[in-house]
Amino acid sequence: MSHDGRCIRRGRQIAGWRSAAEHADPPPHSCTTRPLHDNPTERPSAVRRADRLFSIVLELRRRGVTTAKQLADHLGVSERTIYRDIADLVGSGVPVEGEAGVGYRLGRNFDLPPLMFSLSEVQAIVLGVRMVESFADEGLRAAARSALAKVETVLPEGERHRVAGTALYAHNFDETLELTAQMPEVRRAIDDRRRLQLAYADAVGSTTERIVRPLGLFFWGRTWTVAGWCELREAHRTFRVDRIVEARALPDVFEHRPPVTLEDYIDAVSGGA
């Protein structure tokens, strides 16, 4: 395909996606929505073990002497878990000094190699974090802040001022937490490839229940949309996150196979160009 042909197809895709975001699928009829969270099950919020071990090293590097309780509070786990993690770190060769009940610190000669970023790379990372903080749900906000703290910690000391000194911002004056309240459950369903039960409202507030196979989340500057396969319509549909009244990931898993793939969705909303 020629360069011009690829550009035309890309332009049609973008136009199709924007149209989908602006005209997200309305419910076919009004109905009374019953609660979707009669028996909610919470996914554990603890950090994955590999990430947790790395976070412990970063905290010890940043704070110096740190108690198990401080580490446990920071990571959202028990002190017993911290004791096991410290033992694992020592066993893998990380020189953690101290003892339970007193505090821990890294050996004087241990350090992580500094990461080297150009000024533009630092600015891109900071701007990305600020955009997530302004427009995503609280879970992603916290993850973005944590990621930036890790980057700042391992930057050379003389370069750390670049993070706070980045004058690029992404303010949002809307009630983002309300608009993105259902995003965590949607993200979990996408990650786990689980069908999603939605109570979905149209522009005038009429609601229906949908069973959707979610394929991805798209951000349009002010609006988030869910791309998915709607079992009610038996077709690809786009759902605005701010119109999802309630969301619940169902226990059954679905497979990504035609026509239920993100590629099929993109072809559908772009007119198959």
**In the predicted model, what is the mean pLDDT of residues 2-29?**
45
Q: Is residue 114 part of a domain?
A: no
Residues 6 or more apart whose CB falls under 8 angstroms from that of 153 comprise 58, 61, 62
Q: Is residue 112 part of a domain?
A: no
Residue range(s) defining the domain that contains residue 15? 3-30+177-269
Residues 189 and 234 in one domain: yes
Q: Is residue 169 part of a domain?
A: no
Residues 155 and 191 in one domain: no
Burial class (CB in 10 A: 0-12, 13-18, 19+), 210: buried
Q: Please, what is the end-to-end C-alpha distance for the chain in angstroms?
A: 12
Name the H helices within the chain: 3-22, 49-63, 68-75, 79-91, 119-135, 138-154, 161-164, 176-179, 183-192, 262-269
The predicted structure's pLDDT at residue 31: 39
* Dist CA 126 CA 106 (whole Å): 28
* Dist CA 64 CA 234 (whole Å): 57
Supply the mean pLDDT for the chain.
82
Residues 67 and 144 in one domain: no
Split into its structural domains, the chain has a count of: 3
Return the SS3 of 228: strand
Residues 217 and 134 in one domain: no
Q: Is residue 111 part of a domain?
A: no
Helix 119-135 to helix 138-154 angle (10° resolution) is 160
Residues 262 and 193 in one domain: yes
pLDDT tens for each residue of 134-172 = 999 999 999 999 999 888 887 888 888 999 999 999 988
Task: Single out the residue of 36, 31, 42, 40 nearest to residue 245, CA to CA.
Answer: 36
pLDDT tens for each residue of 49-62 = 878 888 899 889 88
* Dist CA 139 CA 45 (whole Å): 9
Residues 195 and 258 in one domain: yes
Residues 192 and 156 in one domain: no
pLDDT tens for each residue of 35-92 = 454 443 333 444 578 788 888 998 898 888 999 999 999 999 999 999 999 999 999 8
Q: Is residue 38 part of a domain?
A: no
CATH number at residue 57: 1.10.10.10
Q: Is residue 37 part of a domain?
A: no
Task: Single out the residue of 155, 111, 151 nearest to residue 129, CA to CA.
Answer: 151
Cis peptide before 259 (omega within 30 of 0): yes
Joined together, the tokens standing for residue 98 give: 């101290």
The predicted structure's pLDDT at residue 92: 87
Residues 182 and 261 in one domain: yes
Joined together, the tokens standing for residue 84 give: 């096991």
pLDDT tens for each residue of 241-265 = 999 999 999 999 999 999 999 999 9
Q: Is residue 43 part of a domain?
A: no
The predicted structure's pLDDT at residue 116: 76
Q: Which long-range contacts (CB under 8 A, 24 or more apart) does 81-89 make?
A: 81/46, 82/56, 85/49, 85/52, 85/53, 85/56, 86/56, 88/53, 89/53, 89/56, 89/57
Residues 60 and 124 in one domain: no
